[in-house]
Amino acid sequence: MRRALVTGGSGAIGAAIARRLAAAGHHVYVHAHGGPARAEAVAAEIAAAGGSAEPVVFDVTDAEATRAALERLLEAGALQILVNNAGVHDDAVMPGMRREQWSRVIDVSLNGFFNVTQPLLLPMIRTRWGRIVNLSSVAALAGNAGQVNYAAAKAGLHGAARSLALELASRGITVNTVAPGIIASPAADGVFAKETIERLVPMKRAGRPEEVADLVNFLASESAGYISGQLISINGAMI
User: What pLDDT, on the 0 to 100 scale, is given for residue 186?
Assistant: 75
Domain boundaries, the chain: 3-234
**Residue 32 near residue 7 (C-beta atoms within 8 A):** no
β-partners of residue 218 are none
The Cβ of residue 10 has, within 10 Å, a number of other Cβ atoms equal to 27
User: Cα separations (Å) of 57 from 30, 35, 66, 239?
Assistant: 8, 9, 9, 35
- pTM higher than the cut 0.85: yes
Pick the CATH number of 3-234 from 3.40.50.720, 1.10.1270.20, 1.10.8.60, 3.40.720.10: 3.40.50.720
User: Cα separations (Å) of 141 from 23, 109, 232?
Assistant: 31, 16, 11
User: What pLDDT, on the 0 to 100 scale, is given for residue 34?
Assistant: 87
Q: Which helix (H) or strand (E) holds 161?
A: helix 148-168
User: What pLDDT, on the 0 to 100 scale, is given for residue 92?
Assistant: 97
User: What pLDDT, on the 0 to 100 scale, is given for residue 171?
Assistant: 98
The Cβ of residue 34 has, within 10 Å, a number of other Cβ atoms equal to 12
Is 150 tagged catalytic? yes
Q: Which of 61, 150, 153, 213 is catalytic?
A: 150
User: What pLDDT, on the 0 to 100 scale, is given for residue 39?
Assistant: 97
User: What pLDDT, on the 0 to 100 scale, is given for residue 189?
Assistant: 67
What are the φ/ψ torsions at residue 56 (nearest 5 degrees)? Answer: -145, 135
User: What pLDDT, on the 0 to 100 scale, is given for residue 193?
Assistant: 86
How many residues belong to the chain?
239
Q: Along the 239 residues of the chain, how does pLDDT read in single tens digits?
A: 999 999 999 999 999 999 999 999 999 999 999 889 999 999 999 999 999 999 999 999 999 999 999 999 999 999 999 999 999 999 999 999 999 999 999 999 999 999 999 999 999 999 999 999 999 999 999 999 999 999 999 999 999 999 999 999 999 999 999 999 999 987 666 668 889 999 999 999 999 999 999 999 999 999 999 999 999 999 999 98
User: What pLDDT, on the 0 to 100 scale, is given for residue 64?
Assistant: 98
From CA 65, how far away is CA 73, in angstroms rounded?
Answer: 13
Digit-coded pLDDT (tens) for 149-181: 999 999 999 999 999 999 999 999 999 999 999
